[in-house]
Structure formats: structure tokens, C-alpha cells
Chain A
Amino acid sequence: MLSRTADNLYWLSRYVERAEYLARILDATQRLSALPLAYVGASNEWESAVLTAGCATGFFKLYDEANEENVTDYLAFSTANSSSIRSCFEAARHNARAVRTALTMEMWDSINGTWLELKRYGNGPTSREEFSRFLRWVQESSLRFDGSAYRTMLRSDAYWFSRLGVYMERADNTARILDVKYHLLLPDNERVGGPLDYFQWAAILRSVSALTAYHWVYRDSLKPWLVADLLILKDELPRSLSSCYEAIVRNLDQIAGAYGRQGAAQRQARGMRTRLQNSKMDGIFQRGLHEFISEFITENNRLGGAITEQFLL
């Protein structure tokens, strides 16, 4: 297939996934900031949301202070922010339009419908209730698109590139949360932070939709190292780094199989998958959680570069 077509499919998925991630962060932040100070400490949750979304530089060019009003606007509706939910849906639809014949009718309907509906939200919600509804709608739209791709696409390279976009974006997103919040997850944190951090851990889990999953996996109360374990190493959790890389490797292998050729992207992805498989939380903590995460983000970006170089140019 044309490299440009693969590129459009890959980014279409990435943008839809990113929009959903932003909605989750905003949802978790809204909950945290609604709690009395005694439960969450004096940290600025809105600033942390901007950091987690990875767009602090752009944000602070426009605003001096991170508060509910300007953070929700910047992350959800701003056209100045190329990674706001609105910009993500617009970019997704733009990519979809360019490869319309490579999409199934269901996928097109889903993304085009989302784009049309986005207009109804105008420049932002008038109330918190409406904003909550908006965030739910974003998540549902993403689910609908993902489902339409899963249920209707031919299992060929077009599908694999589209999946690849989902998991590359997802891995980046989960890693970014860990990068901003890692200090809350250090093993000695339970003593330092005490119950104050409970809601922060819950918020982290919520932003990767893993709060319920945590209890199913560990059957234990929230413990920071287990939260880290879940997000990094547990294959069972669809948003864990490990699970994302299992999927990335699988999709890259499908492509390599169909094309009869391996490349740098496959080799690199397998390397990362192996490293995650062979890691234990103890070891990660010993070598430093922050260093591990930073390195992962760099490596993940490098893989993105390799995929682009090998297939999308």
C-alpha cells in the first residue's frame, strides 16, 4: 500500500487514542480537584494535568497560571493547541478524508459523525455537568471508532498500521503519566505521603481506566508499587507498557510476515518487548523508576521514528 495511506491510517488512530487519553486525564483531574485539600495536599492538579498531557510549553506561553478554566479550555477546545481534543478529532478526520477509500463505511461514519458533533460543543461547555458529559462523549466516540475498526476492517496491512498507531500512542500516554507522577509511586512513598496519596493513586489508575482492574488483579488495597507494577509490567492490563508492546510486536510481525521482510522497526520493538518481559519491579526501583520511564519514552519515540522511516515515508 501507499506509504501515505499507511501514514494517514497510523495517525488517524493515534489522534483518536490521544483524544480519549486527554478526556481521561481531564476527568481524573476534575475529580481530584473537587476533593478537600486535606485529602490531596496542596499540589496544583491542573498544572499536573497540563504536564501529563505533554503540552506545558505551549500552555505557559499563553497563560501564567494553570487553573480549571484555562486548562480545560486548552486541553479540550483550544485551536491554538494542536493536541487539544478538538484538534485531535479534526486531525483524525483530516487523515480519514485523505484515505477514505481505505476505510470501511463504519469507520468513516464514526469519525465523520464525531467531527460533525464536535461542532455542537462550540467553544466549550457552560457548566461542569455539561463538561462531564462532553468527556464521556469523547471516550464513547473513541470506543466507537476503535470498535468499528476492530469489527469491520480487513485483516491486512491497513488494519495493522491502524492498530500500530493505537498502541504506539497508548504506550506514550501511559509512560507520560508515569513520568509526571512517578514520585507518588516510589516504594517509600507510603510512609512519606501516607493516606494523603491514596486519591492520587486512584486518579492515576482512573486515567488509564484501571481502577477496577487493579482490584481484580491484586485483590489488595492500593499500594504504590503495585500501581507501578500494573501500569508497567502487567500484560493483562490493556494500557500497560508491557501489553502495548506485546501488541506492537504482534502487529509489526504481521506486517513483516505479509511483506516477507523484517526491518529496524521489528528488531527494535522486539528488543523493548524482551526488556519489559525480563524486568521485575524490584529491579526497576533499584535502578530508579524515573530513569526507567525516561528511557522508555526516548526508546518509544525512537521506535516511532523507525516505523516512519521504514514504512511511512
Chain B
Amino acid sequence: MAAAFDEMKGHDGDQVRPAYGELAQWLKEVPPDVLDYRRREAELIFRRIGITFAVYGEADATERLIPFDVIPRIMAASEWRFLEKGLTQRVNALNLFIKDVYGAREILRAGIIPEDLVFRNPAFRPEMNGQRVPHDIYVHIAGIDIIRVDADTFYVLEDNARTPSGVSYMLENREIMMRLFPELFSRHRIAPVENYPDELLASLKSVAPLTTSKEPTVVLLTPGVFNSAYYEHSFLADKLGVELVEGRDLFVKDEVVYMRTTQGPQRVDVIYRRVDDDFIDPLTFRADSILGVPGLMSAYAAGNVTLANAVGTGIADDKAVYSFMPAIVKFYLGEEPLLKNVPTWRCREEEHLKYVLDHLPELVVKEVHGSGGYGMLIGPTASKIAIEQFRAKLKAEPKNFIAQPTLALSTSPTCVEEGVAPRHVDLRPFVLTGRNGVRIVPGGLTRVALKKGSLVVNSSQGGGTKDTWVLDS
């Protein structure tokens, strides 16, 4: 594996890249104890406002803080413009793909994607078949995970088309940076992100059903206080100025959704839902769900409510479907994809599986439906035993896995025990799609692997976050 590209110093490491000029200078000037002091101050603020998340798979499932790194990750305006174009293209293609999969199924007929990969995919929702959604938009909010390997090459690592989270960190990180480092801010011209809630609200209102007569009512549907992302749900509802509702606050009568208010039933037009498909309507999906709204799908089918994101969008963030994204972009848009896909071996295919089994120590192997960095193997850093254990899992259920080369994610200067050192980062921009097109707030959430050499940036696996600065030049 070649040395990683550094966001500040490039490949060779002796020259500071222009976007990082001011920051490099500042890092030289600022005494280490001040940096450390600010870091602790930031942690205190986070703890007081209570931004925590629950960690799965740990016995005590305690509430934890996601570590915050005070050194920002910086992108030049030209870099962002390129990403913005690429992301817009990708999300447009995702929307067309989902519409097609639940509609005419042309991409299956054309033989570009195997039928069974769609039909037998747990994320495919047959119940959505033939159903139109308001304005033909399915993925209203997408979180596209981007990694960088050199000055000009960005890869998409994952498309999150269900209920991507993390945007509250993007907003809070910026807020805290402005409080802690006003002088560093004044030395840059940074594109703002705090208009994200306004953009989101406008976007959600724009996709209200055609039957909405007046100003549409938007709500945010949460599974409740025990959900790991509850903080984000209440944070966003607050910023959007919409009601934070649970399933039991809503009901369906005569194909219209209402919320129970102190003034009687009030019609709901758009539901920004953070409840998974499986739980959203016990009369259509899991009958044992108490988080959903009975009959919601009937109101949806009647075209009287918009769900954001639509039901069944998971088919687009399946990792096996991901491997077809370049073909998907070409099929629907007739364009070459601007953002690259990481080369992917689909273990469901015999030849691919053979290659993967022969090269396990070099590859990253992921579960097709996994997320959050769980259940994956990183060949180069895994022990022999771990590799052999994974080999057995892979052989037992090959169709559940894909494999990719181990990419050297770019690094960015980060505050660690020894001082300031490079650590691997990725980027999750949040892409909004409304009736009037795609909107992306400049930047996104930069996640950083705090352990030296680690390539796993997921917060559940010891990753942290950084503020992301897109320079406005």
C-alpha cells in the first residue's frame, strides 16, 4: 500500500497545499497547550449539550461522546465544485434508478442488473411496486461517503439512501469551531453550513403531495428516546421548527395522515422519517412494530403524504447494487460518472469469489447489508486467525459479501496524544433533492480514524469527527 495522500502536504510531504496555507502557519504559531486546552473545552461543551450516541454490540451500551478533533479539514473551492457536480449526478441517477426499479424495470429488462439481485434483495420492497411517489423523488436526503486517494481522485465508498445520520455533527462542529477559534476563522473565508436546516425544510416542503392545499405541514418521525440517533432527531426538529413525532402521535383516517394535537387532529403532508421501512406500518410490514403508523402505506399509496426518504430506497445503498453504479449512471443519464466507484468484487459471482478468497490479506471485505463498519474484514491489518475465520463466513454465505482493494484514504492533520499527526479521513456530504433540483451545503461531515494507521472512521469503531471547511474563493 502506497503512502497516503495528505490533505495538507500532498504526496511528497514537503510543500503545504494552498488551501492549508493559513492553517499550517497557525499550527506553527499556536502553543501545544492551547490546542489541548481548546480540545478539552470542546469536549465539555459537547457533553453539556448532550450530543451522544449509543454504541451497539457493547454490553453496557452506554451513551458516549463522539470524539471531536479541533483541527479542521479544508477543501479548496475548485475541489468542492467538482465534488458538487459529481454528487448531483450520482444522486440524480440514484433517484432514477429507484423509480425504475419500482416502475418500468427497464434496467432489469436491459440486463444491466441481474433480476435476482433486486428481487431477492431484503432492501427491495415489493409493496412499493407500481406506486408513484410525489414528484418522482425517492431519495430526498442522501449521505454519500467520499474518500480521496490523491490530488484529483475521489471515490464514492458508500451511498446512504435510507436515513443517513450525522448532519447534526456537521452543524454542531461548525458552531463549536466558531466559538473556540474566532481568530482562525477570521483568517479564512469559509462557506457557511448553518443554512442546512432551512435548505432541508424548503426541500421537504417542495415535495409535498399535490393534494396539499395550503402551506404543507412537515413533521420528523423518530423511533423515540431510546434510539441511538435521538439527539439528532430532536436537534433537527428544533432547527427545522417542526414537530418531533413518534408513531403513536400519528394516525391515518380516510387515507390522510393526521397528528394528535391539543387542538384536535391536524393533517400532516410530509414526514421526514427516521424510522426504518420495516417498522413504519405494522399493517404492511412488520406486524409487531409499535414504532410505526398503522395504515400509513395506504395514505402513501393514495398520494396524500410524502415520506422522506421514500420507502424502499435501501435497494440503492445495497453494496452489491453499489458495484453497478457506474453502469447505472450511464444507463439513466448517458454520461460518464464523475465520481469513481471503488473496484468491487461481488462474492455472489463465482470468479469474483475465487479471486477474493485468494487475496484476502490484501482486501477489505464487507457485508452487503452491513453498515457502521460492523462485520467487515480489513485484510492488511487483520490477524491470520481473523482472516481464516472470515474465510469460513465468506464461503458459507458468499452472496452476503463484497470485497474491495484496501485504499489509502487521505490523511489530515489531527490532534492526538503526541501532538499533531496525520490521520485517515473520509467525507460525508449531505445531498438534498427537492422539486427544484439538488442542493448541497458546502462540506459535510469529515470522519477521522483516530488510531494511528487505522482506516476505519466509523464512530462506533473509535472514529471521531472534524469540521469541514470549504474555502469560498
Contacts and interface: CB of A to CB of B under 8 A. Distances in A.
Does a CB–CB distance below 8 Å link A and B in the complex? yes
Nearest to A310: B262
Max chain A Cβ within 10 angstroms of own Cβ: one of B245, B249, B261? B261
Contact of A4 (B234, B237, B238, B248): B248
B234 A161 contact: no
B238 A259 contact: no
A37 to B, nearest CB: 51
A98 interface: yes
B260 A3 contact: yes
B153 interface: no
A157 B262 contact: yes
Given A2-B249, A4-B246, A4-B248, A100 B262 contact: no
Max chain B Cβ within 10 angstroms of own Cβ: one of A5, A97, A312? A5
Nearest to A108: B50
Interface string A144-178: 00000000000001000100000000000000000
Contacts of A6: 262
7 contacts: A2-B243, A2-B261, A2-B262, A4-B248, A101-B234, A157-B262, A259-B263
A3 B262 contact: yes
Q: Is the interface of B mostly helix, strand, loop or mixed?
A: mixed
A42 interface: no
Interface residues of B, number: 15
A313 B244 CA distance: 16
Nearest to A158: B262
A1 interface: yes
A1 B266 CA distance: 10
A313 B234 CA distance: 21
Interface in A1-56: 1-6
Interface in B232-279: 234, 237-238, 243-246, 248-249, 259-263
Interface string A252-280: 00010001010000000000000000000
A5 B262 CA distance: 9
A8 to B, nearest CB: 11
Nearest to B49: A105
Query: Considering the complex of A and B, which 6 residue pairs feature the smallest CB-CB distances, nearest first?
Result: A3-B260, A311-B262, A6-B262, A101-B238, A259-B263, A4-B249
Contacts of A101: 234, 237-238, 244
A255 B262 contact: yes
Interface in B209-251: 225, 234, 237-238, 243-246, 248-249
A104 to B, nearest CB: 13
Interface in A98-122: 98, 100-101
Given A101-B237, A101-B244, A2 B259 contact: yes
B259 A100 contact: no
Contacts of A311: 262
Nearest to B246: A4
Contacts, number: 37
A156 B244 CA distance: 18
A311 B237 CA distance: 22
Contacts of B259: 2
A312 B248 CA distance: 12
Contacts of B243: 1-2, 5
Contacts of B249: 2-4
Max chain B Cβ within 10 angstroms of own Cβ: one of A2, A3, A157, A313? A2
B282 to A, nearest CB: 19
A105 to B, nearest CB: 10
B260 A4 contact: yes
Contacts of A1: 243, 261-262
Interface string A112-134: 00000000000000000000000
B287 to A, nearest CB: 23
Contacts of B248: 4
A177 to B, nearest CB: 31
Contacts of A157: 262
Given A2-B245, A4-B246, A97 B262 contact: no
Given A4-B249, A101-B244, A259 B262 contact: yes
Contacts of A5: 243
A261 B261 CA distance: 14
A147 to B, nearest CB: 22
Interface in B309-337: none
Contacts of B260: 2-4, 313
Nearest to B265: A3
Max chain B Cβ within 10 angstroms of own Cβ: one of A1, A4, A98, A313? A4
A312 B261 CA distance: 8
A100 B263 contact: no
A3 B261 contact: yes
A1 B261 CA distance: 5
Contacts of B261: 1-3
B331 to A, nearest CB: 44
A4 B222 CA distance: 14
Nearest to A263: B264
A4 B243 CA distance: 11
A81 B243 CA distance: 34
A161 B262 contact: yes
A313 B225 CA distance: 19
A313 B262 CA distance: 8
B238 A261 contact: no
Given A1-B243, A261-B263, 4 more contacts: A4-B248, A5-B243, A6-B262, A161-B262
Interface string B190-205: 0000000000000000
Interface in A291-313: 311-313
B235 to A, nearest CB: 9
A98 to B, nearest CB: 6
